Amino acid sequence: MGTALTRDLARLCQEKEQAADHGAYAQHFHLMPPVGWLNDPNGLSQFKGLYHAYFQYSPFDAEGGAKCWGLQTSTDMLRWDYQGCALYPDQPADVSGVYSGSALVQGDELHIFYTGNVKLEDQDGYDYVHTGREANTVHTVTKDGLHFGPKHVVMRNADYPSDDTCHVRDPKVWQEGDGFYMVQGARRSDDVGEILVFHSVDLDHWKLVNRLTTPDPFGFMWECPDYFVLEDEEGTKHQILSCSPQGLNDGAWARRNIYQSGFFPIEGDIRSSVSFGSFALWDAGFDFYAPQTFQADDGRRILIGWMGMPDTPSVTNLTLADGWQHCFTLPREVVFADGAVRQRPIRELDAHRIDKLEGQGSFVDMGTPCFDCEIANGNRPFTVSIAHELKLAWDGKVFSMRFEDPAKDSVGAGRTLRYEELPELSQARIVCDISSVEVFLNDGALTFSTRFYPKQHSFIVDAAPEVTTSFWTLDL
Ligand code: FRU
């Protein structure tokens, strides 16, 4: 399907992709765009056996431009094959961007729901919050992941609550019991973020069944909502409501990223009424936003985040010089174990650990860019230095991730300090790709992710003699 515009966009996109050269900071096992800009993970699914990861993609502008959906597929979620640009903003209903959304496997079809963003031409002094923007919920179907049937608008602004602004987006759809459910993120007119819950029996007609927000306002907009249930070792079910709130800037939020991504443990029935537990960050590092989860065929709940952060001019990405920007996090298995929600690197990574090195107390490796490392510290303080610039430290109270040089062209490219209070720490896992570091603490109960741009690779642990470091090169 498509118009003359679709065909021209596809040709121009392919020309851009063919001319691309990723340069020195290209990742080895993290999904990155073939060229240009990448943001949110979209339509994550396992379809016909193959993992599908769509991504917010602006092939024509590495600083973000017309948003399309690119598609990458994989058999192991570590080695991704770019398949092409799957959805272009080529219809009146999505002319300002094929914004984020999700996928639902139904037999041999993949149903995609996304937000068709429309910014009307500014003739009447639109503010683009209360006026001047359409948020169309679009449904389209594919049998091969890449070629789509017609785009049907299943909801428009008039179908959302009248006290919401024009900011309603990012449908996440799942099947349950008597049909299908969808959550969408929204900004209320009184600048309170919320989640809308819809129900459908046929995927085309949707009815609003509930609106979810915290008793006290928690930011002005909740982007990229997600809902899923984790079952613990005893078979107890835990409901998780995930979102990316914007507008949390006071108090402890002031020292964190401009926008957050995290989850509320909830109790009750999302169709009628729920109580909210306290919000926990998915990741406390510099580069993590807009995660999405899906359930793999083997039952695992997999989470992938965008390893980037919008609206942060103080930070840059040195890949811009090579015409691309941003990547996804490592896919993470989300579990509820030992009383906490934990994120663990997908187990597929374990098969790529080679050349194990071990150290007691201090440990030094020079020159390995892609590695996986476990530090068993048994509650003893330690510091890690990566590429001589990135310092990870636990002092018995606080875990910190610090770049020593705050300059925009340094290894941290403008990143400075992120930290969280952590009274107990017994184990850390650090996974490094060419230009990213992901840290999983206490079996993934707390994580820190960042991009970085090392000139030389080095990894040094400084710790008491009782602390053990196990270090593997990754053959990816
Ligand atoms: C989150 C987000 C989504 C939106 C998309 C547009 O990063 O703002 O809410 O759909 O990016 O690219």
The 10s digit of each residue's pLDDT in 329-352 is: 999 999 999 999 999 999 999 999
Q: Are the C-beta atoms of 151 and 138 separated by less than 8 Å? A: yes
The conformation of residue 320, written as its DSSP 8-state character, comes to G
Q: How far is CA 115 from the centre of its chain?
A: 17
Cα atoms in the 13 Å half-sphere on the side-chain side of 328: 33
Looking at residue 388, its pLDDT comes to 95
* Closest ligand 1 atom, residue 223 Cα: 9
Substitution candidate for ligand 1 out of 37, 54, 55, 56 with most atoms within 8 A of CB: 56
| Pick from 70, 138, 136, 145: nearest CA to 105 | 145
Q: Are the C-beta atoms of 32 and 23 separated by less than 8 Å? A: no
Looking at residue 100, its pLDDT comes to 99
What is the residue with the minimal CA distance to atom 1 of ligand 1? 290
| Pick from 388, 472, 475, 378: nearest CA to 430 | 472
Distance between Cα 251 and ligand 1 center (Å): 25
pLDDT under 50 in the chain at which residues? none
* Closest ligand 1 atom, residue 56 Cα: 12
Question: The tokens of 129 are what?
Answer: 């919050």
Cα 253–Cα 259–Cα 265 angle in degrees, nearest 5: 75
Torsions phi, psi of 349, nearest 5? -65, -35
Q: Does 135 contact ligand 1 (Cβ within 6 A)?
A: no
| Pick from 270, 136, 245: nearest CA to 187 | 245
Between CA 53 and CA 35 the distance in angstroms is 16
Distance between Cα 100 and ligand 1 center (Å): 6
Residues near 263 by Cβ (< 8 Å), separated by ≥ 6? 240, 241, 242, 243, 279, 280, 282, 341
Q: Does 39 contact ligand 1 (Cβ within 6 A)?
A: yes
pLDDT in tens, 350-375: 999 999 999 999 999 999 999 999 99
pTM (2 d.p.):
0.98
Between CA 357 and CA 376 the distance in angstroms is 14
* Closest ligand 1 atom, residue 185 Cα: 9
Looking at residue 178, its pLDDT comes to 82
Looking at residue 1, its pLDDT comes to 63
Distance between Cα 395 and ligand 1 center (Å): 37
Quick count: other Cβ atoms within 10 Å of Cβ 252?
Answer: 9
Looking at residue 341, its pLDDT comes to 98
Looking at residue 124, its pLDDT comes to 74
Quick count: other Cβ atoms within 10 Å of Cβ 183?
Answer: 26
Between CA 340 and CA 266 the distance in angstroms is 14
